[in-house]
Copies of this chain bind each other. A is one copy, B any other.
Amino acid sequence: MVKLLILGTGSMAVSHATNFQAAPDTELVAAVETDAARREAFGKQFGIENLFADLESAIAWGEFDAVANVTPDAVHYPTTMRLIAAGKHVFCEKPLATSYPLALEMADAAEAKGIINMVNFTYRNSPALQKARELVRSGAIGDIRYFEASYLQSWLVSKAWGDWRTESRWLWRLSSQHGSKGVLGDVGVHIVDFASFGADTDIVAVDSRLKTFHKADGDKIGEYPLDANDSAVMTAEFANGALGTITATRFATGHANDLTLRIFGTSGGMEVKTDGKTSALRICEGPEIDTFGWETVECPPVPTTYERFAKACNTGVNGEPDFRRAAEVQRILDLCFAQEATRALHAAAPATAAE
């Protein structure tokens, strides 16, 4: 029975608490929240009695084994490092850190301390993705040669999810000053992990291009400068040399929230699709590679990241995706940003005419 503390009580924390309450052998024992009113409300909602105003008080108390870190992105690093030092298992929201060096430090520290360390890449919960990976490992499609992975949203065009022009829950995602790393940081991390996990391989090379489109007068709405990327496209290479593309956009008009991974190997091809709620897998293999027939594959349910973290804590065997994997995803993000910065600074006209 793992005793869990929830660190932070925002909307993602509600999701964590709900999922962990439903997970076997897991007990919500405490929560940390600086705002008193929200702290009390959260405690009441989930029947949590031990409520703390800061992390240090909770650590001083100490009656917990593991933490669901649902703090803002920039706070993941200091809080997680403190928890590792205290020997607590950590389940961290994505992104693990705001840069590759910090993420690497977190992975190193967690492994050195021997704690359970996992990151909440929720699309791992897709049965079709897990089944696809299982088929890849069984050799069903041979050696992968080519792939396409995309994460398509359209909330910059569609009003289905509300109006980004007037709602702060969308506006902050368009502004680096408000902590956003754009579509790349928001959902690009998911599709990078999705592609690499589904294909059961590392990504060894990436060339990317990011773009922020003009969306408002002065590229600003209220206090939000609209400078975060709207689309991110990459060419990428897997460890075995397979070549492909990984993309994410908020401008795929006609798509609400669609992740697709298509992987093609020397003896078959597969397509994984999910919208986060349901997932589906199709395959072309065997004699059908000559007739171009595709079949739907049955995908049994899979445990969630929450359940897998709880199980890891209870068994002492670390689960996936771990901090090291999250650090690797962060490396790819940092690389995309460095490439785009290089491109932008190159293109900037010299600020001065020769005097």
A interface residue numbers (CB < 8 A to B):
100, 104, 107, 141, 145-146, 148, 150, 154, 156-160, 196-197, 200-211, 213, 230-231, 233-235, 237, 239, 241-245, 247, 249, 251-256, 264-269, 284, 288-292, 294, 320, 324-325, 327-328, 331, 334-335, 338-339, 341-342, 345-346, 348, 350-355
Pick from B146, B208, B256, B325: contact of A251, CB under 8 Å = B146
Q: How far is the CA of A291 from the CA of B159 in the complex (A)?
A: 9
Give 30 pairs: A residue, B residue, CB < 8 Å, sorted on A.
A100-B348, A145-B230, A145-B231, A145-B253, A146-B231, A146-B251, A146-B252, A148-B247, A154-B269, A196-B354, A201-B354, A202-B350, A202-B353, A203-B350, A211-B242, A231-B243, A235-B245, A239-B354, A245-B245, A245-B247, A251-B264, A254-B289, A255-B269, A255-B292, A324-B352, A328-B350, A328-B351, A334-B341, A338-B342, A339-B342
Closest Cβ of chain B: how far from A179's Cβ, in Å?
A: 17
CB neighbours (8 Å) of A231 from chain B are 145-146, 243
Beyond A208-B235, A254-B284, A339-B342, 19 additional contacts (C-beta under 8 Å) are A145-B251, A148-B150, A157-B264, A203-B350, A204-B350, A207-B207, A213-B241, A252-B264, A253-B268, A254-B268, A254-B288, A255-B269, A255-B292, A324-B351, A327-B351, A327-B352, A328-B352, A331-B345, A338-B345
Q: How far is the CA of A152 from the CA of B27 in the complex (A)?
A: 51
Q: Which B residue's beta carbon lies closest to that of A265?
A: B253
Closest Cβ of chain B: how far from A51's Cβ, in Å?
A: 36
CB neighbours (8 Å) of A145 from chain B are 156, 213, 230-231, 249, 251, 253
CB neighbours (8 Å) of A348 from chain B are 100, 331
CB neighbours (8 Å) of A265 from chain B are 253
B335:A345 contact, CB within 8 angstroms: yes
Pick from B160, B209, B245: contact of A237, CB under 8 Å = B209
CB neighbours (8 Å) of A345 from chain B are 100, 331, 334-335, 338
Q: Which B residue's beta carbon lies closest to that of A355?
A: B320
CB neighbours (8 Å) of A197 from chain B are 355
Closest Cβ of chain B: how far from A281's Cβ, in Å?
A: 13
CB neighbours (8 Å) of A339 from chain B are 342
Q: How far is the CA of A268 from the CA of B154 in the complex (A)?
A: 10
Q: Oligomeric state, in number of copies?
A: 4
Q: How far is the CA of A242 from the CA of B230 in the complex (A)?
A: 11
CB neighbours (8 Å) of A245 from chain B are 233, 235, 245, 247
A253:B284 contact, CB within 8 angstroms: yes
CB neighbours (8 Å) of A256 from chain B are 292
Pick from B154, B237, B328, B355: contact of A264, CB under 8 Å = B154
B230:A207 contact, CB within 8 angstroms: no
Q: Which B residue's beta carbon lies closest to that of A204?
A: B350
Q: Which B residue's beta carbon lies closest to that of A197?
A: B355
Q: How far is the CA of A107 from the CA of B350 in the complex (A)?
A: 13
Closest Cβ of chain B: how far from A289's Cβ, in Å?
A: 5
A200:B244 contact, CB within 8 angstroms: no
Given contacts A247-B148, A256-B292, contact A235 B234 (CB under 8 A): yes
Given contacts A235-B209, A235-B234, contact A160 B292 (CB under 8 A): yes
